[in-house]
A and B are shown apart, each in its own frame.
Chain A
Amino acid sequence: MIEAVPLEWILTVAAALFCIGLFGALSRRNAVGILMGIELMLNAINLNLVAFWRYLSPLSSTGPVFSLLIITIAAAEAAVGLAMVIAVYRAWQTVNLDTVDALKG
């Protein structure tokens, strides 16, 4: 793997994944869709961390440890975020975030 694929390729894939996730998080109306975009972005970050770890310092365990912590945080974020989605649905009967504008003033 490491001699066949240069690091830049993986970085490009991760950057593309991050930007797609960003687009999803910015322009989806559905709250669950926004959460999905955020999950994609976190995945891209993890991919970067693991790639740098494998290419630059494979003997230290910092890279996997960091990505495991990010996976933990992502799981927690998904749980809380989806709970909030359900709470929003109970109050507004919709999960489209452009209709949830009670604080508009």
Chain B
Amino acid sequence: MEIVVQILFMLISALIIIAALMVVSVKNIIHAALWLFTSFFAVGALYLLLEAEFVAVIQVLVYVGAVSILVLFAIMLTRHVTGEGQNQLYSRWWLGLILALTLFGAIIVPTVFKQKWNIPAPTVVTEPQNAEPVVAGVADIGKAFMREYLLPFEVASLVLLVALIGAIVVVFEERTERRVILTLAESWALRQKESAKVDQ
């Protein structure tokens, strides 16, 4: 069983890393977006492996279902920028590469190689049906949102509202006139109205 979980973990993390590398290196921006969703989806799978199923479902719902669509819409609304042929990276992209690699080393060396993690003996779920739950489930998260984290919850909803209104304000285009195409029934009704007025 352990080896299966390890292989599964390796596959998922390889998918995450490869997809993320493709996101930053692919020339076509739409392909980069598609790789981004692959990465999101694989992260969701890793959440499932970590038994955080609610977070996994929300990851799929928000990132894959909403953010990705938003990204694709933004790419398609800014036309002619799929970027085939032109250089997608700054001329000094190696500076960013050095910075990222240094940061990776600076994170990994002290935490993984030098630090001994004194993790308490893990609590393992054996039989979910009859044993006591050892992982906080959906009900616990709901209670936490309604009790300890009520203020962050409200603030988050406020942030969402502000973002909604802000996004509309930023992209709103004032038009002097709007074109409305009428259905046959509507234009017929309009004509009836007009002729009634002419008769009076």
A and B touch in the complex (CB under 8 A): yes
Binding site for B on A (CB under 8 A): 1-13, 15-24, 26-30, 32-33, 35-37, 39-40, 43, 46-47, 50-51, 53-56, 58-65, 67-69, 71-80, 82-87, 89-90, 94-96, 98
Interface size class on chain B is: 35 or more
Query: Given A17-B20, A75-B160, A79-B164, A1 and B50 touching (CB < 8 A)?
Result: yes
Among residues of B, the one whose C-beta sits closest to the C-beta of A43 is B43
Residues in B lying within 8 Å of A, measured CB to CB:
1-3, 5-6, 9, 13, 16-17, 20-21, 23-24, 29, 32-33, 36, 39-40, 43, 46-47, 49-52, 54-55, 58-59, 62-63, 66-67, 70-71, 73-75, 77-78, 81, 83, 87-90, 92-93, 95-97, 99-101, 103-104, 107-108, 111-112, 117, 119-120, 122-124, 134-136, 140-141, 143-145, 149, 152-153, 156, 159-160, 162-164, 166-168, 170-171, 173
* Residue from A23, A50, A55, A87 in contact with B122 in the complex, judged by beta carbons closer than 8 Å: A55
Which B residues are CB-close (under 8 A) to A51?
50
Which secondary structure dominates where chain B touches chain A? helix
> Of B46, B73, B144, which one neighbours A47 at CB under 8 angstroms?
B46
Bound CA–CA A72/B166 (angstroms): 16
CA distance A82 to B83 in the complex (A): 17
Give, as a whole number of angstroms, the nearest-CB distance from A89 to chain B: 4
Q: Given the complex, which residues of A lie within 8 Å of B119, measured CB to CB?
A: 7, 55-56
Chain A neighbourhood of B58, CB < 8 A? 68, 71
Tell whether, in the assembled complex, residue A50 and residue B55 are in contact, meaning their CB atoms are under 8 Å apart. Answer: yes
Residues in B whose Cβ lies below 8 Å from that of A85: 74, 78
Q: B residues within 8 A CB of A89? A: 77-78, 81
Q: Is the CB of B39 within 8 A of A43?
A: yes
Q: Pick 10 A–B contacts, CB within 8 A, sort by A.
A: A4-B6, A12-B112, A17-B39, A18-B107, A28-B88, A33-B32, A36-B32, A39-B63, A55-B122, A96-B81
B29 lies within 8 A of A33 (CB): yes
Measured in the bound complex, the distance between the Cα atoms of B93 and A18 in whole Å is: 17
| Given contacts A33-B29, A50-B55, A69-B156, A16 and B17 within 8 Å (CB-CB) | yes
Which partner residue on chain B sits nearest A97 by CB separation?
B90
- Least Cβ–Cβ distance between A64 and chain B, in angstroms: 5
Is A27 a contact of B156 with CB atoms below 8 Å? no
User: Shortest Cβ distance from B187 into chain A, in angstroms?
Assistant: 33
- Find out whether the CB atom of A36 lies under 8 angstroms from the CB atom of B33: yes
Asked whether A61 lies within 8 Å of B144 as measured between CB atoms, the reply is yes
- B71, A28: Cβ atoms under 8 Å? no
4 more contacts with CB within 8 A, not counting A4-B1, A29-B87, A75-B66, are A13-B46, A65-B144, A68-B58, A74-B63
